[in-house]
Structure 1
Amino acid sequence: MLRRVRLYSLSTCPTCKKVKEFLKTHAIDYEIIEVDTLDGGEQWLAMKELKKINPATTFPTLVVENAVVGFDESNLKKLLGIGQNDS
């Protein structure tokens, strides 16, 4: 099942890298916003958008459809419709 997935990430964040690897491993298409690599104006807009979604503005912030989650592998599998036996 196709789901709209957006990842707010920092290029140097180890947990963000784990989320990216998880999504890649499970062939999940996603939009990535590497906040720390954006220029000043774009970064400001991305942080403003992120604050609306996740007031704590923590990284990674993963938005699956309308659900906002961090890196909780079992929850991600459930939201993305990935079988628990997949690796």
Structure 2
Amino acid sequence: MEYGQPQASTGGSVVRAILSLLPDWVEWTVLSLIAAWLVSLGAVQVWRRIQYCRAVRAGRPIHAAAQYGQGRGADCLGSYAPPRRPDADGD
């Protein structure tokens, strides 16, 4: 054991061991797919932020998922749904 080197975590050594068993082309393909997935997550986040800013600037409603009269997600729970309050007006 060398004292100057930091020890790898257990998860990192397991991933390194699994990747060393694969052929090089599979290893590079898996790593590139993971990188593409991470880049696409970032791109979707930026796209949503741009859409949000455009909606705010245009004065449109921000979240259009719950339209009037649509109800809440608890309406789909059936017998597990919480009881409705008598003073609730559906918003």
Q: TM-score range by the shorter chain?
A: under 0.3
TM-score, normalization: structure 2? 0.24
Which of 1 and 2 has higher RCO (CA within 8 Å, sep 6+)?
1
More strand by share: 1
With normalisation by structure 1, the TM-score equals 0.25
Higher helix share: 2
